[in-house]
Amino acid sequence: MKFKRILLKISGEAMMGDKGYGVDPATVDFIAREIKDAVSMGIQVAIVIGGGNIFRGVEASVQGMERASADYMGMLATVINALALQNSLEKLGVPTRVQSAIEMKELAEPYIRRKAIRHLEKGRTVIFAAGTGNPYFTTDTAASLRAMEIGADVIMKATKVDGVYSSDPMKDPKAKKYDSITYLDVLKKGLSIMDSTAISLCMDNDLPIMVFNLKGKGNIRKIVEGKKVGTLVRGNNGARTKKKNK
């Protein structure tokens, strides 16, 4: 296997399928089956989930809502999505834990790094909810932070398209797809893969990002097996630097 421990970033929009709002049970079930396929291979899977299908803090702040309050509301939306995904995974027999950056003991465990790693080592899938627990930070940044904290081998960024393009392929038929691209080029070209804070964090720690289409059946398994799927965002040397703790 190319990767042993992965951090899967799923947007809130992915949870609503073809609906315009909320959670589509059929779509969540499909995502859960894709995750189960990876887990059945012995891969340790952690997940960071967004909440844009329910509430988006940035948009609310633009419309006049105080930004910090809007962001906290968005964090609560991610908890709803995490619980929905947990329900689908456990119906498939995948042991799952939800850890929230905002304490809500009746619904989820508080986020504790060492406990999350222990869950992964025991074969449990861990879903990180409520972002970083702080306003002004996106769930993309939360994904980068959590991936670093748990020692993930890669961030797998699930999107609606099959990789990174020079422009929006939905609007520009001449958009060029990249098989691989460096962090610096992503920042210089202003490509909207993840926000600049998240990209910079990955770049500083040489953590690769694999951008792929979540709707492609078996894509998670193919990436783990080392097959060519999506776009790899990497450092200039094309390989992650292994750093040993002393």
Share of the chain above pLDDT 90, in %: 78
pLDDT at 172: 87
Q: Domain tally for the chain?
A: 1
Note whether residue 239 is domain-resident. Answer: no
pLDDT at 19: 85
- Cα(113)–Cα(99) distance, integer angstroms: 10
In a domain, 240, yes or no: no
Does this model's pTM top 0.85?
Answer: yes
CB 156 within 8 A of CB 208: no
Per the domain annotation, does 74 fall within a domain?
A: yes
What's the rounded Cα separation, in Å, for the pair 15 and 20?
A: 10
The answer on pLDDT for 125 being more than 80 is: yes
Confidence of residue 7 (pLDDT cuts 50, 70, 90): very high
pLDDT, tens only, 179-226: 999 999 999 998 988 999 999 999 999 999 999 999 999 999 999 999
CATH code of the domain covering residue 153: 3.40.1160.10
What local confidence, expressed as pLDDT, does residue 50 receive?
A: 94
| Structural domain boundaries, residue 226 | 5-234
pLDDT band at residue 238 under the 50/70/90 scheme: low
On whether residue 126 sits in a domain, the answer given is: yes
In a domain, 187, yes or no: yes
Identify the pLDDT of residue 6.
97
Question: How big is the CA angle at 86 (ends 83 and 92), to the nearest 5 degrees?
Answer: 150
Q: Is position 245 within any domain?
A: no
Tens digits of residue pLDDT in 55-68: 877 777 778 889 99
Residue 244 placed within a domain? no
Instruction: Say if 242 falls within a structural domain.
Output: no
